[in-house]
Amino acid sequence: MNPLEMSKWLLPGLLAGLGGCGLIVELASERNLWQKNSRDFYEEAKRRVPPLGGIPLLILLIVIMFWARTFYMLPAILIGLVGTVDDFMKLGIKGINRPLKAREKIVLQLLIGVLGAYLWGRTSSIWEIGWVVIVFMAVVNATNMTDGIDSLLAMTSIVSVLFSMLLLPAYGAVFFMLVGFLIGFLWFNAHPADIFMGDTGAFTIGGILATIFLRSRQELYLLLIGIVFVVETLSVIIQVTYFRKTGKRVFLMSPLHHHFQKLGWSEPQIVFRFTFFQTLGGMTATVIAYVLAR
């Protein structure tokens, strides 16, 4: 992709991130758009932050899908919309004030995963469909679990996407759009954040990565390209499983970023240190892919 082509995708991303999130920050402070009935915050201070930063990304992705006819991207958009429903419910406007139940989310994710398997041509057997659904659900929940520290999911996603470009250059357009958006989003999400990307943002990012890697049949590389997402997920599984069996905890708190927060790492320290490992993972993935292709 030449620089002119690159800027055609990077610039709209940058502007959507800066302009869209800036608008939401303005509206939020006028209209009290923050999470009034969420109990899952580590710090009280984070409650008065609007969780709607993913919406400009989702809108951009919808526009691109219709404009560039990239309908294989539909599952990423649908999962993003599931996040949006959840985010708006958390705001407690119009009397609707319960978030989606875990079961409802899982059923929706499963259905969207099945749709993905068809759109991406991965329906050779029931096993393949099942595998695609599992990977899709794992990825979108992994990015969602990573989102819990200011700038953490944005920075680790930028690194993932930059290495993904080396692996799957055909998807450069969406990748540059996403990097641009995240750099714009970080203007307002830098610690202390004025906006969160919410489930909308986290699910959409996971959805984009899952879509591109599953459609390219390269999904195993996500284990390395998104190593931070994988480890965050494992930390939750280990914590919950171990606690149910023994009544004791492995980590001070899960997902893993909260463990380090309790150990005294600042939010920027967690961000840059997790980003370091994401870089190692991305580098390893591209080296393996290159060596295997030789």
Signed CA dihedral, 52, 57, 60, 62: sign only: negative
By beta-carbon proximity to a second copy, the closer residue of 41 and 276 is: 276
Minimal distance in Å, beta carbon 181 to a second copy? 12
**CA–CA distance, 51 with 152 (Å, rounded to integer):** 15
Minimal distance in Å, beta carbon 65 to a second copy? 24
By beta-carbon proximity to a second copy, the closer residue of 32 and 269 is: 269
Minimal distance in Å, beta carbon 46 to a second copy? 15
Structure token digits, residue 136: 């899709």
Minimal distance in Å, beta carbon 1 to a second copy? 10
Report the chain's terminal Cα–Cα distance, integer Å. Answer: 23
By beta-carbon proximity to a second copy, the closer residue of 191 and 217 is: 191
Minimal distance in Å, beta carbon 253 to a second copy? 20
**CA–CA distance, 270 with 249 (Å, rounded to integer):** 21
Minimal distance in Å, beta carbon 287 to a second copy? 5
Residues 6+ apart with CB under 8 A from 157: 143, 178, 182, 205
Using the structure block, give the residue that is written with the tokens 């989606």. 100
Determine the distance from the C-alpha atom of residue 36 to the mean position of all C-alpha atoms in its chain, rounded to a whole number: 23
By beta-carbon proximity to a second copy, the closer residue of 18 and 77 is: 18
Are 120 and 131 in contact, with CB atoms under 8 Å apart?
Answer: no
Minimal distance in Å, beta carbon 237 to a second copy? 26
**CA–CA distance, 111 with 117 (Å, rounded to integer):** 10
By beta-carbon proximity to a second copy, the closer residue of 15 and 238 is: 15
Secondary structure letter of residue 52 according to DSSP: -
By beta-carbon proximity to a second copy, the closer residue of 114 and 162 is: 162
By beta-carbon proximity to a second copy, the closer residue of 251 and 274 is: 274
Query: What is the b/e burial string over 21-51, where b = at least 16 CB atoms within 10 angstroms of the residue's CB?
Result: bbebbeebeeeebbbeeeeeeeeeebeebbb
Binding residues for a second copy, per CB under 8 A? 2-4, 6-7, 10-11, 14, 18, 150-151, 162, 166, 180, 183-184, 186-187, 189-192, 266-269, 271-273, 275-276, 279-280, 283, 286-287, 289-291
Are 142 and 223 in contact, with CB atoms under 8 Å apart?
Answer: no
Peptide bond into 50 cis (omega under 30): no
Peptide bond into 12 cis (omega under 30): no
**SS3 call for 111:** helix
By beta-carbon proximity to a second copy, the closer residue of 216 and 268 is: 268
Minimal distance in Å, beta carbon 195 to a second copy? 12
